[in-house]
Structures are given as structure tokens and as C-alpha cells.
């Protein structure tokens, strides 16, 4: 290649940079750009700071609200104790702190049992129990407690902790007979159920855990369970009040918990059995897993029941459960729940205004993923 061609090729490939000294206009532009960046950064910091402040304030408000509810709950328990002898033990005495310790002890007992029941639900159970005893005078009436789908006994323990001295507590489950468990919504274990219930009843009978629970200590020779517990090993959808519930002996059910098969048809049938056939006129039906996305059959079954019967309607949603009672006493139950349970808001469910309380979402929606 000739020198002329080489020089031409090199000049085509490379050009020296053009040096340019900044002008006054450039300085103004750069200064404006820096100010814009600084302003944007400060605005961003303010926004983050304001959001963080709002979150902290919201958390503080929730904490204050929870503390206020707990104070009201203790005050309500004290007031209830003076109004009704079944809310306190004459042998023990004590003030609000002692009552709170007994209640916390029950939660501790329930929390030791495997299952999906949210411990906070005990506060709702107690408010319902107080309403029935004080507002409706069920203390002197023959009644019973019942649950379909007791699993290992966790929620059943919460239920029987409310027991009156003469009440029968009915546990319904297919247990090891899983042929009756249509959707495999929970494999019950009778040996675990018996172990957990017996141990907890003995602890509650000792007198330091709950002011309401009463038991004479007698154990059934056939079931090896406390004598007030009636176990029904059966498919709940095939049960009837006449054949399986001795209402003349045990009285109607004042609180009936449903946590059985989660298909639409099974839910509909369990609701019909509980609400239309067995429930006391001032009683409450508790339906589990209504809003659990794993079990859409439950909300479908509830919709089907409400369309077919008006015996009970929803009045509260709390801890993954929907609470139902006779339409005429909805406001009475709601007024008892409001000072004793943290109520987030009110919302309509199938045309009925319900109190929306805490839910315990983490355990509710991830429980089926965790080993027990």
C-alpha cells in the first residue's frame, strides 16, 4: 500500500477528539441539572420518610386498638363474673389479672395440639358464650356443644373449655374410616384426639386454666375419655337429629362447629343438620374455611344453604370462620362481640351485614403446606 493510501485509510478510521472549553451556558445547565437531581433525591427521601412515618403510625394505632380491646375484654370478664356465678369460681377469687391468666392458659393448652384452629378464635368463642349465658340466660337450660370434624382435637378443646357442668360435648368424625372423607380435607386420628383431649381436660380441671370449665373427673370405661364427651364415628352427612342426637337427654346444641368434608354438598348437608335440626333457638353455628381458596366448596355450600333456608344467617367473620345465628338475634351477638374482639370493619355477606374481625391469614392459608 502506498503512503498516500495508508494515510488516507488511517485518517478515515481515526479522528482526534475536538477539545472544547465549557462556556457560561454549560455551567448554568450543569448547575440546573445538579439542582434537579438534588431536588428529586430530596423529594424521594421525603416520600420514603413520609410513607415510613405513615406505616409506623398505622402500626401504632393497631397496637393501641388491640391493647384497648384487651383491656375491655378483661373489664367485661370482671363484669360478667359479678353478674353470673358461672363466670367465676368462689373458691379461687382474684381479679382481672387472674382471669386473664386462666384464659391465656387455655390458649396455651390449645396451641400445643396439632391442627389449623387459630388461637385468637377463642376470644370470639368466649364472647359468644358470654352472650348466651348473660344475655340469653342459657346457664340454667339443658344444652350441649358439638363439632363435626374434630381432627386431633384442637378446636374441640376450644369448644369444651366453655362447658357448663351438665353439658355433653359431641365429637363427630370419621377418623380412620377415610372412605367417608370425600375430599381428604383432613385425616383424623382417634388416638391423638383422645390423648390431647384427656390431657387438656385434666389440666383445666386442676383449676388454674379456666373459670368456666367444669368436670367431675369421671372417665368413660369404653372410650377412655371424660364421661361428658360423646364420640360419634360416622359420616356426618348421613346423620339425623333423631337417630344420632339424644336431645331429650342432652338438650339442643348451643354452639355447633362445622369443619367436616369441604365439598359443596357436604357443607350444605352439615349446615342443614346443625342449624335446622339440632341448634338451640339462641345458638350459633360456626363454619370453618369459608374463604380458604383451597376449599371453594365451603362457600358454595353456604350459598346453597342460605338460598334454601333462613334458619340462620351470617353475623361475623373471624379467624377463617363464619358465624351464623337466627336473624332476630344478630344485633345481640354483634353487640357482645364488639367490645371483646378486635373488629376491623363491617361488610355484607350474602346480603347480611357482618362484623369483620381478625383472620389469622398466615396459618389459615399456609396450614395445608406445613407438616404437623
pLDDT for residue 275 is more than 80: yes
3-state secondary structure of 234: coil
Of the segments 44-58, 93-107, 135-149, which one has the largest average pLDDT value?
135-149
Residue 33 vs residue 135, higher pLDDT = 135
Average pLDDT over residues 355-364: 76
pLDDT tens digits, residue range 156-179?
999 999 998 889 999 999 887 666
- Give the start-to-end residue ranges of the domains of the chain: 104-369
CATH number of 104-369: 3.40.50.150
Rounded to the nearest integer, the mean pLDDT of the chain is: 78
Average pLDDT over residues 48-63: 57
Residue 211 vs residue 249, higher pLDDT = 249
Residue 61 pLDDT grade (very low, low, confident, very high; cuts 50, 70, 90): low
Kindly report whether the global pTM for this prediction surpasses the value 0.85.
Answer: no
Residues with Cβ within 8 Å of 143's Cβ and at least 6 positions away in sequence, in order, are: 164, 167, 250, 251, 252, 253, 254, 280, 283
Residue 305 pLDDT grade (very low, low, confident, very high; cuts 50, 70, 90): very high
Amino acid at each position: 500500500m502506498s503512503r498516500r493510501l495508508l494515510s488516507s485509510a488511517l485518517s478515515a478510521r481515526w479522528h482526534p477528539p475536538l477539545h472544547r472549553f465549557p462556556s457560561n451556558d454549560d455551567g448554568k445547565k450543569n448547575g440546573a441539572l445538579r439542582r434537579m437531581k438534588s431536588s428529586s433525591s430530596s423529594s424521594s427521601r421525603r416520600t420514603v420518610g413520609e410513607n415510613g412515618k405513615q406505616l409506623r403510625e398505622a402500626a401504632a394505632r393497631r397496637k393501641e386498638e388491640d391493647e384497648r380491646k384487651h383491656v375491655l375484654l378483661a373489664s367485661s370478664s370482671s363484669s360478667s363474673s359479678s353478674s353470673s356465678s358461672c363466670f367465676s369460681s368462689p373458691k379461687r377469687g382474684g381479679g382481672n389479672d387472674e382471669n386473664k391468666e386462666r384464659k391465656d392458659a387455655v390458649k396455651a393448652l390449645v396451641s400445643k395440639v396439632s391442627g389449623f384452629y387459630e388461637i385468637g378464635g377463642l376470644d370470639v368463642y368466649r364472647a359468644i358464650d358470654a352472650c348466651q349465658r348473660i344475655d340469653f340466660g342459657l346457664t340454667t337450660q339443658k344444652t350441649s356443644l358439638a363439632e363435626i370434624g374434630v381432627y386431633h382435637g384442637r378446636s374441640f378443646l376450644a369448644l369444651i373449655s366453655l362447658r357448663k357442668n351438665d353439658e355433653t360435648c359431641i365429637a363427630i368424625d370419621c377418623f380412620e374410616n377415610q372412605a367417608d372423607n370425600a375430599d381428604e380435607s383432613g385425616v383424623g386420628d382417634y388416638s391423638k384426639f383422645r390423648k390431647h383431649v384427656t390431657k387438656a381436660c385434666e389440666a383445666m380441671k386442676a383449676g388454674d386454666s379456666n373459670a368456666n370449665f367444669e368436670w367431675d373427673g369421671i372417665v368413660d370405661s369404653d372410650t377412655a375419655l371424660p364421661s361428658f364427651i360423646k364420640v360419634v364415628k360416622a359420616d356426618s352427612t348421613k346423620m339425623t337429629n333423631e337417630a344420632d342426637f339424644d336431645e331429650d337427654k342432652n338438650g339442643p346444641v348451643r354452639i355447633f362447629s362445622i369443619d367436616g368434608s369441604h365439598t359443596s354438598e357436604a357443607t350444605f348437608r352439615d349446615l342443614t343438620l346443625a342449624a335446622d335440626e339440632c341448634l338451640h333457638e339462641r345458638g350459633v353455628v360456626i363454619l370453618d374455611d369459608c374463604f380458604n381458596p383451597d376449599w371453594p366448596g365451603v362457600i358454595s355450600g353456604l350459598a346453597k344453604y342460605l338460598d334454601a333456608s333462613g334458619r340462620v344467617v351470617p353475623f361475623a367473620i373471624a379467624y377463617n370462620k363464619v358465624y351464623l345465628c337466627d336473624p332476630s338475634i344478630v344485633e345481640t351477638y354483634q353487640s357482645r362481640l364488639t367490645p371483646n374482639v378486635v373488629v376491623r370493619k363491617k361488610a355484607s355477606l350474602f346480603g347480611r351485614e357482618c362484623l369483620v374481625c381478625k383472620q389469622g391469614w398466615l396459618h389459615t392459608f399456609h396450614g395445608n403446606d406445613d407438616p404437623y
